[in-house]
Amino acid sequence: MTREWRIAPDIQTEFATRGPDAAVAALAERQHGVVSLKQLTALGLLPSAVRERVRSGRLHGIHRAVYAVGHASLSGRGHWMAAVLACGDGSALSHGSAAALWGLREGGGSRIDVTAPRRMGRIRAGIRVHWRPSLAAVDVAACDGIPCTSVPFTLLDLASVVSADSLEKACDRAEQLRLFNGRAIDELLARMPGARGTRRLRDVLDNLDPLGPETRSEIERLMLALCRTHPLPQPVVNGWIQLAGIGFSPDFLWPRQKLIVETDGGNHQTKRALRPTAGATSSSPRPATSRCASPGAS
pLDDT band at 288; cut points 50, 70, 90? very low
| Together in a domain, 170 and 240 | no
Across the chain, mean pLDDT equals: 82
Does 81 reside within a domain? no
Are residues 194 and 243 both part of a single domain?
no
Residues 252 and 198 in one domain: no
Does pTM top 0.85 for this prediction? no
Residues 56 and 150 in one domain: no
Residues 201 and 107 in one domain: yes
Residue 4 placed within a domain: no
CB under 8 Å to 58, separation ≥6 — which residues?
Answer: 21, 69, 70
- 223-249: average pLDDT: 77
**Number of domains the chain contains:** 3
Residue 108 shares a structural domain with residue 140: yes
Q: Is the pLDDT of residue 240 over 70?
A: yes
Calculate what percentage of the chain has a pLDDT beyond 90: 47
Query: Do 96 and 191 share a domain, yes or no?
Result: yes
283 in the same domain as 240: yes
Residues 181 and 258 in one domain: no
**Final residue in a domain of this structure, among 166, 187, 208:** 208
Taking the C-alpha atoms of residue 252 and residue 262, their distance in angstroms, rounded to an integer, is 7
pLDDT tens string 149-179: 999 999 999 999 999 999 999 998 998 898 9
The string of pLDDT tens digits covering residues 44-65 is: 899 999 999 999 999 999 999 9
Evaluate whether residue 74 is within a structural domain: no
* Same-domain pairing of 37 and 13: yes
Domain presence at residue 84: no
Query: Does a structural domain hold residue 30?
Result: yes
Last residue of a domain, one of 147, 179, 208: 208
pLDDT on residue 284 = 38
Residue 92 has pLDDT above 90, yes or no: yes
Last residue of a domain, one of 176, 208, 240: 208
Residues 229 and 195 in one domain: no
For residue 51, the enclosing domain spans 9-69
| Domain annotation covers residue 78 | no
Same domain? 163 vs 270: no
Do the domain assignments include residue 2? no
SS3 letters across the chain: CCCCCCCCHHHHHHHHHHCHHHHHHHHHHHCCCEEEHHHHHHHCCCHHHHHHHHHHCCEEEEECCEEEECCCCCCHHHHHHHHHHHCCCCCEECHHHHHHHHCCCCCCCCCEEEEECCCCCCCCCCEEEEECCCCCHHHEEEECCEEEECHHHHHHHHHCCCCHHHHHHHHHHHHHCCCCCHHHHHHHHHHCCCCCCHHHHHHHHHHHCCCCCCCCCHHHHHHHHHHHHCCCCCCEECCCEEECCEEECCCEEECCCCEEEEECCCCCCCHHHHCCCCCCCCCCCCCCCEEEECCCCC
Q: How much is the pLDDT for 209?
A: 60
Does any domain span residue 270?
Answer: yes
Percentage of the chain exceeding pLDDT 70: 79
Higher pLDDT, 281 or 132: 132
